[in-house]
Each structure stands twice: as structure tokens, then as C-alpha cells.
A and B are shown apart, each in its own frame.
Chain A
Amino acid sequence: MSDAPANAGLDSVRLAQGGRANPFLLVPITLFFLLLGLAVLRSPSLMSSAGIGSAIIVATPLILATYALMASVISGRGTVDLSIGPLIGFINVTLIQLYGAGILTNPIAIFAYAIFIGALYQFLFSLIVIYIRVQPIIVSLSGYLALSGINLVILPRPGGVAPQFMADWGLGTSIFSPVFAILVIASIAWLLFTRTAFYTHLRLMGSDERAAYTSGVPIYVVRIGAHLISGAFAGLAAITFTGLISSGDPSQGTTYTLIAVTALVLGGASLAGGRGGVFGSFLGASNLYLITFVLATFNFGAVQSFVTNLAYGSILVISLLLTLIIPFIQRHINNFSPLLYFIGLGVVAMGVILHATNDRDPRTRTAPVDDTVVMQPIAPIALEELYVGPLEVAAPTAMEEELRQEAGPLVLVALLLIAIAVFVRIAVYQSNRRTIAPAVAVVVAALVLFGAYLMRAGGPFAPNNSEPTATEESR
């Protein structure tokens, strides 16, 4: 940026755009698509309505716990809330006990209770940090021990029954479950929050509390606010966690502490404060879920959980080491856009998904399905097959065939959406230059729209000739 005084105007534009870009998202995005591609290749059923649905059910408590952690971590002073896991467990067990006692039955009351308890705890936390002025990590350590103790008192062993409406969530047969709605609403709420001045104050305080204090930011109010938001997220995480396990569990929630910290860091947030976002946290938590998912498709038998641990640890350390090269990347690419990068990799991943769900190897298609038993002695493999083999999936069963019919339109619609996003992005970016790019973009858009038209009208590319509105039917 420094060597082009002539292009000062252009540089300032770039600077403005680069300011918003977060290069720390580079690693999580890459990892996300890598794992997604691997997961889909290993198990194509992930890309079905039921597969995504159950993935959302399982991953949402972790994602929300990461959000909760993120909100307080941004506030600085090394506020890594180790007590987030026990807090989720606490809300879970009290919820189950209160429901069992017949006190909390109304869904609205349950939501209000969970969010209130989470916010109350975090409020106390922030008051202690502000007025007693003990290091936050000690407060969270104290809370960790106290809450994980009291959880076992309230509910000595896993048990109890969740409210019926919550128990139904855990089935995960469709993408559009209430859990998904909670996740989307929580994410959007945070994104809306980032538009406020309060968020700017929060980030300023997180990166430099003294500067914030001297410039008149009400740091106490901001800190309390950050903790209240964190508590609300923790309440939501506890609700989705209760929905996932459909019962009470005093110790399971505790494990969320370490995983959520891992997810947060994997998502590019800084534990020192001031940096972190909902997008990165989402990616970090999803990455952890995908790691477990991918490893679960390999059958390690008794050592499964150890391999998962090993993978967690190594990926965490490696991704941290990768952040070291970000300054070099920043020096050479001075306008890194996470969104464009995300879309670019998304298109590649879409290709992989399309391949995994729709493409069939012609050689395996001729073979009957039932003959591919794993235990048979292995015949010598042709060299060509050896290289291509691992990437190809087996012949489709009837169920997979149906799945494919269902997934085809979904995938194509997604591709269309991505293409439009790319077009919009390019159009916005190029709009202040006199180049041929807008024209190219318009042509590309026209081609895409033409493709969409062919698909919709039952042309040669239509996946399902009987029903043009297959997407709606499949829900």
C-alpha cells in the first residue's frame, strides 16, 4: 500500500475495505471447507435434509456456547470464562428439576428462565470483576468449581425428562427445526448488535481498556453489557443442550468449557480481547463438529475417543501456528476479503458435494450392491482404480438414489445463490473503476439465470422432471 502514491484514492478505498476484512478468518474458512469436503466424501448422507438437520441439532449447543464465550472474551482483560460449561449444566439441571416439580411448564417461561439465569450469573461475574477487581480468570475458575459442584448436588446422576416440546427437537429430521431458528436468531442478533456504537465501545475496551477509559467510554456499563449478552447466549445454549439430550446431565455440560475455548480460538478470536466475531465462532465450532464427524466415519474401535482428542489438539496447535503467517499474507495481499474467499472455497466444496451425492462411478454401478461386502479377500486392484478409488463412492442404493433426487435441486439452488453472491460482490467492488468487469459480471449473471431457467422449466438439466417445486416438497 505504501509504494503507490499515485493511486492514493484507490488505496484509501482498499484500506477502508481491508479494515473490515479479518485475515484471521483465513484459517478457519480453509479448514471448514477442507473438513466439509472430507465429511461429504466419507459420508454423503450428511448432505441430506435429515443429515444437516441432525448436524445442526448436535452442533448448535457448542456454537451457542462459543458465542457466549466470545461475547465476554471480546471485553478484554483475559476474560476467558472457564465456567461456561458448568453454567450450561447448571441451567440444564435446574430446568429439568423445575420442570419435574411442575413449576416451569410454559415454553416462554422456560426460555425466560434459562436466559435470566445465564444473564444473572454473568451479571454477578461482571460485578465481581468490576468492583472486587480480581482477575477474571480467577472468578471463572471459582465459578467453574462452585457450579460443577452444585450441579451434582441438584442432580446427582443423569436423568429426568425434558419438556415434551424440547424432546421433539432432538429428533433432527429436518433442517428447519426450532433449534435452527434459535441459532439463526442468535447469530442475527449478534450481527445486528455489531452495528451499534455499544459494540464499537466493547471492541475498543477489549483492545485497550485504558484508552477506552480515557476517551470517555463508560467501561463499567460496557463490561456489564458484554456479560449480559454472554449470559443470554449461555441460556440459549443450555436450552438447545437440553433439547439435544432430552434430559438432565450434571457433568456433560462441563465438558463444553474446553471445547468451546478451543472452538473460539479455532475461529480466529483473540483471547486477549478485542477480536472475535460470530462468523469465526460459528466456523470454529462447526470445524470441531466436523472433525468429530469425519473421525467417526473411520472406524477406530476402542481408540476412537483418543484419536478425536489427538486430532483436536493437533489441529488446534497447527491452526494457531498458521496464524503466525498471517502478517506475511497481509503484506502481499492487501485486500483479503473473507467473504469472497468463503464463496470461492464454497464453490469448490459445492463441486465436491455435487460429485459425492450425484456422480456415480460407472464401474461400480454395474456391480450388484450386495456383493460389496467388506470382509471379502481383496482382489488385486488396478493401478487406475487405486488412484481414483478412494475418492469414488459406492453404487447408490435405493435410499441413496432417493436422496440424490432430493439433493440435486437443493445443490443447484445453492450454486445459484453463490453465483449471485459472487456477482454482487464483484459488481460492488468494481463499480468505481472504468473496466470491462461489470459487463463480464452481467454476462455471467445472464448465463446463470439462463441455467436457472432451464432447470426450472424442466429442460435438459432439470433433475426431477415430474415436479418443478421439488425443493419445497422435500421439506
Chain B
Amino acid sequence: MTTLAQPPKLGLPATIIGVCVGIILTAIGVVFGFLQGLSVQLIILSAIATLAAFVWGWRFVLGQFVSDANSVPEGETSEGRKVWLQFRPAIFGLIAILALFLVLSLTIEGFFNVWNVVSLLIILTIIVLTRTLGRHFQENRSAFIGIMVLAGLFSIGSMNIEGFASANNIKSMLLFAAFLGIASVGQTLVALLGGLDLSIPFIIGAANVGLLYLIGLGVPPWLAVLIVLVIGILLGVINGFLSYKLQGQALIVTLGTGFAISGGVQIVTSIGTAYGGNVFGTVPNWLSNLAAMNGSTFGLPVPPVICIWALIVIVLIVGMRLTVYGRYLYALGVNRTSAKRVMISELTYWVMMYAISGFFAALTGGLLLGWSGGGFIGVGDQYLFLTLAAVVVGGTSLLGGQGGYGFTVIGVLVLQVLSSFLIGIGLDFEWQQFIFGLLILPMVALYARSPHIRTQI
């Protein structure tokens, strides 16, 4: 960040283009303002803000490129051409965003207001910052970008949506984030080894139904929880063993065991009942309190599951940074051959990580039972891709060795704030999912691009 001390000098064409684009942008804003009959003060204010922010952003973006470009020897081409070639992607991206904004303003009634303009500016700022500041972070770039996106989303949300930043809403967001976060523990650890665990949603569903079934049979709830967790660990051990033996097939192996687990548990639970997969029973109060929205931790009005999650986060982050187990895990993920040479047992780690994954999946299933109060095998279905998305958006590489649970926490929060935001602006589930899908790609593309093939040889 120290390189930004002196203001960058821009060439003449770049300045002219920047000013022109800025003026056009401002003019569009002013015209729309008058068309909508806003007060003149507001229009002038937003016009000045638009112009100033744009010019600043323009200088900032181009400055980064200019400082890079100084080392490039002077070529034959003219200056305008060179500028065009250098900033082509940036200009295209800018034009695309502006065009999208324009189209939305033209088509949707009442879309063009001050808050949306401010939101646009925030988005632009995020993009500019991530493209510029982000390159100074070699190690934790994804975390930086994730936090930027999180802050931007949150500020946009609290501006546009009534009650978005209220304590209640934040509590509910944290609650759902805690479920997703606990479910993603295993996915993160397994991804660090270079594997995948798609059996998580099935184990969640199976634990959810199985726990209620055991309680319904008359097993003491604490023992039932223990049994379910132990079974989760055992299933994880099986997963880990199979995935290790069948290298590179983790995706399909865990999918297969997942199918088998969910089918098997449902068969067991529906023997002797006429409901075919639906289990009924009463959830003990302490379990409901653990995960319910109005639960309390030692008198504090915070659902205990959030505290549990916080504890897990701290233990995992510290553990993976400081303990030898954590370092060995990274060693295995980065280069398994050299890890083997220093006597790290691959099989142990695969089995251990998958066992942890099974444990946390079963835990999530149990907690979700406390939250909903009824068993349902499909309760984990959305976590099939959400855990993967959280890991990927956070910045943990699916190829292993890079990332960590802290990154996944950021990914989980981004996903949760995004989905709350989309619900808040009144989108249906289908549209939410659509936008979700479309947004994962650019978010990942901001930092997780693989190098060109010619650099890999």
C-alpha cells in the first residue's frame, strides 16, 4: 500500500476519456433525476458525487496500470492505441456495468434513485479496490476481497432495506450462517487435502431423522445425540478410507456413500411405521434452545449455536495455524510426495479429515433438528452445493493446500448476507437462486483464476 503515496500521473488520452465518461455518466444521472422529478438539490448533490467518485476512481485505476506500464519499453504504436490496449478489459467492464445500470433504470420503474446510485458507486469502488489494492496482497487476497464484498453488500443492504442492520436480522443471519459454517468445516478440511465430500447433505439429513427416531424410541436424548455423532464419525471414516483408496474419485465415492446412507437410514427409520420416511417425536427443550432463534446462552439473548460456531472457528483457525497437525495438513495438500518423505501418513489424514467432516455434518443435522423441531430427510439438500460454494467463494482451492477455515467463514458470511439481501429486496426463491448462481462466478473469478497453460509448462 505504500506505493500509493504519490498520486499517479495520467497520459492525456486517458484523462480525456475519463472526463468524458464521467461527464456522460453525470449527465445521464441528471436527466434521470429531472425525469423522476426529484428535488434539484438532490440532483446536484448526486451529480457532483458521481463525477467526483468517478474521476477519483478513474485516476486510481489507471494509476495502477501506469505504474506497471512504466517498465514497458516504448513501442511503435500511438499513445491512444496503447492506452486502449492496456485498459481494454477495464473499460469493457466499466461500460458493461454502466450499460446494465442504464438498462435496469430504463426498464424498471423507480429503479433510478439515490440509493441505487450509491449502491452502484459502492460496487464500482469494491471492484476498483479489489483490482488495485488486491494485487498487493499475495497471500490473503481472497480474504481481502471477501471482506470487501461483505462490507459492500452489507452497506448496500442496510441502505436499501428497512431493518437490514437491525439486531434481530443480524442475529438471524448469524444463526443461518452458523448452520452453514458448521456444515462447511468438513468440506474445507477435505478440500485442503484435495478431496471433496458430497456426502455431507445426506449425513445431515440422516442425522436429523435418525436423532428424532432414536429419541422417539425412548433413548435418552444426550445418549441419542452421542450415538448419532459417533455414527457420523464412523461414516466419515468409511468415506475417508474409500476416498483415499480411490484417489481422484472422491466426488463420486462420497456421492455414492451419501446415497447409501440416506437410503439406509430411511429404511431403518421407516420399519414398523406407516409414514414411509416421516418421523415424529418431540425434541427436548435444551436441544431446541441450542438452535432456536430465541435461544439464550447463559442468559445472553444469543442462540448458543452461534457461540458454538464461534468456538469452532477459533479452535480451527488457531489449531490449523499453530499445531503440528494443521501444518501437516497444509503440507499434504501442497505436495503429497514431499509430505510422505517427511513421514506424514497420508491415510491417517484422509481418514481423520473425513471423520471430522462426518462429525460436523451429523452435528449440523442434530442442530437443525433443534431448530425445526421435526425430522426431515431432505433438510440437508441445500447444503450439497452451498458448502462447496462457501468453500470456493471463501478462497480455499479445491485442488488442496491453499486456504483455511477462516476463508470459509468469510465465504459463509458473504453467501448469507447475499441471500438475506436478495430476500430483503423481495425476490422469490427462484430468482435468488438464479442470481446466486450468476454471482458465484465473478466472485471466484476475482481471485481464483488459474494461470495460463503456457506458464504451467
Q: Does A128 make an interface contact (CB < 8 A)? A: yes
**Nearest neighbor of B436 in chain A, beta-carbon distance:** A145
Report how far A308 CA is from B263 CA in the complex, Å.
7
> B231-275: contact bitstring with A at CB < 8 Å (1 yes, 0 no)?
000000000001001101101110111111111101100110011
- Segment of A30-38, A315-323, A451-459 engaged in the interface with chain B: A315-323
**Nearest neighbor of B260 in chain A, beta-carbon distance:** A313
User: A314 contacts which of B260, B266, B271, B438 (Cβ < 8 Å)?
Assistant: B260
> A299-341: contact bitstring with B at CB < 8 Å (1 yes, 0 no)?
0011100111111111011001101100000000000000000
Report how far A312 CA is from B430 CA in the complex, Å.
29
- Segment of B77-85, B99-107, B442-450 engaged in the interface with chain A: B442-450
Instruction: Name B388-446 residues within 8 Å CB distance of A.
Output: 388-389, 392, 398-399, 428-438, 440-441, 444-445
Q: Is A138's CB under 8 angstroms from B263's CB?
A: no
Report how far A77 CA is from B287 CA in the complex, Å.
44
**Nearest neighbor of B276 in chain A, beta-carbon distance:** A302
Minimum Cβ distance to chain A for residue B278 (Å): 10
Minimum Cβ distance to chain B for residue A139 (Å): 6
Q: Is A142's CB under 8 angstroms from B263's CB?
A: no
Q: Is B266's CB under 8 angstroms from A303's CB?
A: yes
Please name all residues of chain B whose beta carbon is closer than 8 Å to the beta carbon of A133 when the two chains form the complex.
449-452
Report how far A309 CA is from B431 CA in the complex, Å.
30
Please name all residues of chain A whose beta carbon is closer than 8 Å to the beta carbon of B385 when the two chains form the complex.
82, 141, 144-145
Q: Is A138's CB under 8 angstroms from B444's CB?
A: yes
Q: Is A135's CB under 8 angstroms from B452's CB?
A: no
- With A210-B456, A317-B257 already in contact, the answer to whether A141 and B431 are too (CB < 8 A) is no
* Central interface residue in A133, A145, A147, A262, by most chain B CB within 10 Å: A145
> A254-279: contact bitstring with B at CB < 8 Å (1 yes, 0 no)?
00001001100100001110000000
Instruction: Name A99-156 residues within 8 Å CB distance of B.
Output: 128, 132-135, 137-139, 141-153, 156
Minimum Cβ distance to chain B for residue A252 (Å): 15
Please name all residues of chain A whose beta carbon is closer than 8 Å to the beta carbon of B216 when the two chains form the complex.
none
Q: Does A435 make an interface contact (CB < 8 A)? A: no
Q: Does A2 make an interface contact (CB < 8 A)? A: no
- With A271-B248, A309-B263, A320-B256 already in contact, the answer to whether A134 and B449 are too (CB < 8 A) is yes
Q: Is B266's CB under 8 angstroms from A317's CB?
A: no
Secondary structure call for the B interface: helix
Please name all residues of chain B whose beta carbon is closer than 8 Å to the beta carbon of A366 when the two chains form the complex.
none
Minimum Cβ distance to chain B for residue A223 (Å): 11
Q: Does A209 make an interface contact (CB < 8 A)? A: yes
**Nearest neighbor of B196 in chain A, beta-carbon distance:** A137
Report how far A148 CA is from B399 CA in the complex, Å.
26
Q: Does A213 make an interface contact (CB < 8 A)? A: yes
Please name all residues of chain B whose beta carbon is closer than 8 Å to the beta carbon of A320 when the two chains form the complex.
242, 246, 249, 252-253, 256
Q: Is A149's CB under 8 angstroms from B249's CB?
A: no
Report how far A29 CA is from B301 CA in the complex, Å.
61
Minimum Cβ distance to chain A for residue B247 (Å): 9
Q: Is B260's CB under 8 angstroms from A309's CB?
A: yes
Q: Does B457 make an interface contact (CB < 8 A)? A: yes
Report how far A133 CA is from B445 CA in the complex, Å.
8
- With A133-B449, A134-B449 already in contact, the answer to whether A306 and B438 are too (CB < 8 A) is no
User: B253 contacts which of A82, A141, A317 (Cβ < 8 Å)?
Assistant: A317
Q: Does A80 make an interface contact (CB < 8 A)? A: yes
Interface size class of B (residues with CB under 8 A): 35 or more
Q: Is A303's CB under 8 angstroms from B448's CB?
A: no
Q: Does B341 make an interface contact (CB < 8 A)? A: no
Please name all residues of chain A whose beta carbon is closer than 8 Å to the beta carbon of B388 when the two chains form the complex.
141
Q: Is A302's CB under 8 angstroms from B270's CB?
A: yes
Q: Is A147's CB under 8 angstroms from B437's CB?
A: yes
**Nearest neighbor of B397 in chain A, beta-carbon distance:** A135
Q: Does B322 make an interface contact (CB < 8 A)? A: no
Minimum Cβ distance to chain B for residue A16 (Å): 28
User: B267 contacts which of A152, A219, A306, A317 (Cβ < 8 Å)?
Assistant: A306
Report how far A216 CA is from B211 CA in the complex, Å.
58
**Nearest neighbor of A250 in chain B, beta-carbon distance:** B430
Minimum Cβ distance to chain A for residue B280 (Å): 15
- With A141-B388, A144-B385 already in contact, the answer to whether A153 and B431 are too (CB < 8 A) is yes
Q: Is B438's CB under 8 angstroms from A313's CB?
A: no
Report how far A152 CA is from B430 CA in the complex, Å.
6
**Nearest neighbor of A258 in chain B, beta-carbon distance:** B255
* Central interface residue in B256, B275, B435, B444, by most chain A CB within 10 Å: B256
Q: Is B255's CB under 8 angstroms from A316's CB?
A: yes
Q: Is A310's CB under 8 angstroms from B263's CB?
A: yes
Q: Is A146's CB under 8 angstroms from B434's CB?
A: yes
Report how far A151 CA is from B440 CA in the complex, Å.
18
**Nearest neighbor of A317 in chain B, beta-carbon distance:** B256
Minimum Cβ distance to chain A for residue B234 (Å): 15
Q: Does A469 make an interface contact (CB < 8 A)? A: no
Q: Does B453 make an interface contact (CB < 8 A)? A: yes
Please name all residues of chain A whose beta carbon is closer than 8 Å to the beta carbon of B453 when the two chains form the complex.
209-210, 213, 219
Please name all residues of chain B whose beta carbon is closer than 8 Å to the beta carbon of A156 when the two chains form the complex.
430
**Nearest neighbor of A209 in chain B, beta-carbon distance:** B453
Q: Does B374 make an interface contact (CB < 8 A)? A: no
Q: Does B221 make an interface contact (CB < 8 A)? A: no
Instruction: Name A289-303 residues within 8 Å CB distance of B.
Output: 301-303
Q: Is B450's CB under 8 angstroms from A307's CB?
A: no
Please name all residues of chain A whose beta carbon is closer than 8 Å to the beta carbon of B440 when the two chains form the complex.
138, 141-142, 145
**Nearest neighbor of A319 in chain B, beta-carbon distance:** B256
Q: Is A321's CB under 8 angstroms from B242's CB?
A: yes
Minimum Cβ distance to chain B for residue A299 (Å): 13
Please name all residues of chain B whose beta carbon is closer than 8 Å to the beta carbon of A150 when the two chains form the complex.
430, 434
- With A150-B434, A317-B256 already in contact, the answer to whether A134 and B274 are too (CB < 8 A) is no
- With A146-B437, A219-B453 already in contact, the answer to whether A310 and B259 are too (CB < 8 A) is yes
Please name all residues of chain B whose beta carbon is closer than 8 Å to the beta carbon of A143 when the two chains form the complex.
437
- With A145-B385, A146-B433, A306-B277 already in contact, the answer to whether A137 and B257 are too (CB < 8 A) is no
Please name all residues of chain A whose beta carbon is closer than 8 Å to the beta carbon of B266 when the two chains form the complex.
303, 306, 309
Q: Does A214 make an interface contact (CB < 8 A)? A: yes
User: B441 contacts which of A134, A316, A324 (Cβ < 8 Å)?
Assistant: A134
Q: Is A261's CB under 8 angstroms from B256's CB?
A: no
Report how far A122 CA is from B266 CA in the complex, Å.
37
Please name all residues of chain B whose beta carbon is closer than 8 Å to the beta carbon of A145 when the two chains form the complex.
385, 389, 433-434, 436-437, 440
Please name all residues of chain B whose beta carbon is closer than 8 Å to the beta carbon of A272 when the two chains form the complex.
248
Minimum Cβ distance to chain A for residue B354 (Å): 14
Please name all residues of chain B whose beta carbon is closer than 8 Å to the beta carbon of A321 when the two chains form the complex.
242, 245-246
Please name all residues of chain A whose beta carbon is closer than 8 Å to the beta carbon of B434 when the two chains form the complex.
145-146, 149-150, 153
Report how far A302 CA is from B445 CA in the complex, Å.
46
Report how far A324 CA is from B247 CA in the complex, Å.
10
Report how far A214 CA is from B261 CA in the complex, Å.
45
Report how far A316 CA is from B453 CA in the complex, Å.
34
Minimum Cβ distance to chain B for residue A475 (Å): 39
* Central interface residue in A128, A141, A309, A312, by most chain B CB within 10 Å: A309
Minimum Cβ distance to chain A for residue B289 (Å): 32
9 new A-B contacts, CB < 8 A, other than A134-B441, A310-B267, are: A82-B385, A146-B438, A152-B429, A214-B457, A261-B255, A301-B276, A303-B271, A306-B277, A314-B260
B-binding residues in A (CB < 8 A): 80, 82, 128, 132-135, 137-139, 141-153, 156, 209-210, 213-214, 219, 258, 261-262, 265, 270-272, 301-303, 306-314, 316-317, 320-321, 323-324
Closest 10 CB pairs of A and B: A313-B260, A146-B437, A302-B276, A145-B437, A313-B259, A309-B263, A310-B263, A149-B433, A149-B434, A316-B256
Interchain Cβ contacts under 8 Å between A and B, 9 examples: A138-B440, A145-B440, A149-B430, A149-B431, A271-B252, A302-B274, A302-B276, A303-B266, A310-B263
